[in-house]
Structure 1
Amino acid sequence: MSPTAVPMKKHYLPALLLLAACALPAGAAQFTITPVRIFMTTKDRAVAVTVTNDSDEEVVMQADLYVWKQRPDGSDDLQLTEDLILTPPIMKLAPRARQVVRLARLSPPPGGMQQTYRLVMREVPEARTTDKLQLQVALAFSLPVFISPPGVKRDLQCDLERAAPDLVRAVCSNGGNAYAQVRALEVLDARGTKVAARDSGGYLLPSVRRSFDIRAADGRILPGKVKLQVALDDGSLQAFDATLPE
């Protein structure tokens, strides 16, 4: 497949909100963290992160840092690390309060490859006196952290294979030395008509290969020449030519 660069409307990344426990809404705190993705260069020793308690109750937060890798199937592999530290790692925020903390790098990263981490901020549920039995909700944000030396870039390549009469599979690999993030995928026929689409994707860290199933909204995807369009997180679009068999 031969990729071509195509301009595309800017995409915006929402915060990744993980619900760590199912419980009654009355026991849940609400908090936000900015930025939702953290970018550092090899010259940066620290960056600022803002944590805001949006609720009317005091909230206690705890931070953990993980080296972020991906398995061959694209699933995340997280290992606790001391390469980075958030200071303070535990904080108590009054209702509607805001605190700026520092994410600091403790050792210089190796050159030539983007380093990838996850900052996980968790609520620490505290016992509350109540006359009714009430479960607690623990919320967490998992934020990607990228430390990039000069010149690193992604190298995304994708191919299409048929999986079913109404389903094709995009198999993508990242041969670069920086992450790629697929936001959406579309399959266009030879006339440029959209025949299948998927509005979700995922990260591909360097050297990772993963697949995305794309199903037709109605009917069969006909064989022949098609174009796969891959929307990326920076607002760009890459297009790959392919030929689908029967």
Structure 2
Amino acid sequence: MATAQTAQYRLSALKVELAPQEPFAVLAIANTGNIPLDFKVRVQQWQQRATGQDEFHLLPLNSLELVAFPNLLHLAVGERAEIRIGHRLPPTDVERTYRLLVAEIPPAPSGLESETRLVTVHSLPVFIKPAVIRRQGQLLNAQVQQGALEITVSNQGNVHIEADQIKVTAFSEKGQRLFEMHPQREYILAGVTRSLRPMPLPQDHCRDVRSLQIVLDIAAHPPTTQIERSTGICR
């Protein structure tokens, strides 16, 4: 007989941000389920090619470039622990980027029954900010294809851009605001131009849309672009 269990746990953050003057942070992890859990913690270097593809390189456990401690965790039911993250790197002109991997370790099989455990791996972005932050970006090639908005973002600054910093507002022929939406969270690292995942437009309003205003909200004067079609955006 096979049984299936899914672990339940909670992390205190979705990303970690460090700076030259704030080189340490703490990530809390809590076991909210009814079975004990074990975790392995590792750090990856994270880069993006000019085409936007992610590249990862696992740091050795003895690396001092970015340290996460402890590397192994055991959490009893209801228990909470802390992962300490820190660096001693000198300030740079461009943001350094990493991924913190928090991977559940499946238990060894025991007894006569075979047990199936669905294990998870969380990959949290870790950003080490430069001494001076410069935010600059551009929206490129915005178009609607088959009812979905496609956008390319060029990051010309020295820190990352998050796709959900983009606000898309739809207007009718008479200028009435029909809806607002944001892309799913994606990261565009410094110096990278990346096409975002297509954003399906709400079909119940799509046929009434005559224009889309797209704003990248990263500066006092945010980059903005417009798509207009007199016959309708979705046609």
Structure 2-normalised TM-score? 0.77
Residue aligning to 1:39:
17
Measured at CA, do residues 47 and 215 of structure 1 come closer, stay the same or move farther in structure 2, by a change above 3 Å? closer
How far 1:188 moved relative to its partner?
Answer: 3.2
**Aligned ranges 1:68-83 → 2 under 5 Å:** 68-81=46-59, 82=63, 83=65
Structure with greater proportional strand content: 1
Residue aligning to 2:89:
108
How far 1:240 moved relative to its partner?
Answer: 1.0
Letter in 2 for 1:37: K
The percent identity for this pair of structures is 20
How far 1:149 moved relative to its partner?
Answer: 2.7
Measured at CA, do residues 103 and 243 of structure 1 come closer, stay the same or move farther in structure 2, by a change above 3 Å? closer
Q: 2:214 aligns with which of 228, 231, 234?
A: 228
1:144 aligns with 2:125: yes
1:132 aligns with 2:102: no
**Aligned ranges 1:43-82 → 2 under 5 Å:** 43-81=21-59, 82=63
CA distance in 1, matches of 2:86, 2:125: 14
Residue aligning to 1:202:
186
CA distance in 1, matches of 2:213, 2:43: 40
How far 1:239 moved relative to its partner?
Answer: 5.5
User: Which segment drifts farther, 210-219 or 187-196?
Assistant: 187-196
Over aligned residues, Cα RMSD in angstroms? 3.1
Structure with the larger RCO, 1 or 2 (CA within 8 Å, 6+ apart): 1
- Secondary structure at 1:86's aligned position in 2? strand
- Secondary structure at 1:65's aligned position in 2? strand
Q: Deviations for 1:39-58, whole angstroms, at most 9, x for unmatched residues?
A: 11113343222121222222
How far 1:230 moved relative to its partner?
Answer: 4.1
| Number of positions where the alignment pairs a residue of Structure 1 with one of Structure 2 | 218
1:219 aligns with 2:207: yes
How far 1:241 moved relative to its partner?
Answer: 3.0
Q: 2:140 aligns with which of 136, 159, 165?
A: 159
Structure 1-normalised TM-score? 0.74
- Secondary structure at 2:116's aligned position in 1? coil
Structure 2: 5+ residue stretches without partners: 231-235
- Secondary structure at 2:94's aligned position in 1? coil
How far 1:180 moved relative to its partner?
Answer: 0.8
CA distance in 2, matches of 1:126, 1:207: 42
- Secondary structure at 1:158's aligned position in 2? strand
CA distance in 2, matches of 1:196, 1:164: 18
1:85 aligns with 2:73: no
Measured at CA, do residues 175 and 136 of structure 1 come closer, stay the same or move farther in structure 2, by a change above 3 Å? same
Measured at CA, do residues 238 and 215 of structure 1 come closer, stay the same or move farther in structure 2, by a change above 3 Å? farther
Measured at CA, do residues 243 and 31 of structure 1 come closer, stay the same or move farther in structure 2, by a change above 3 Å? closer
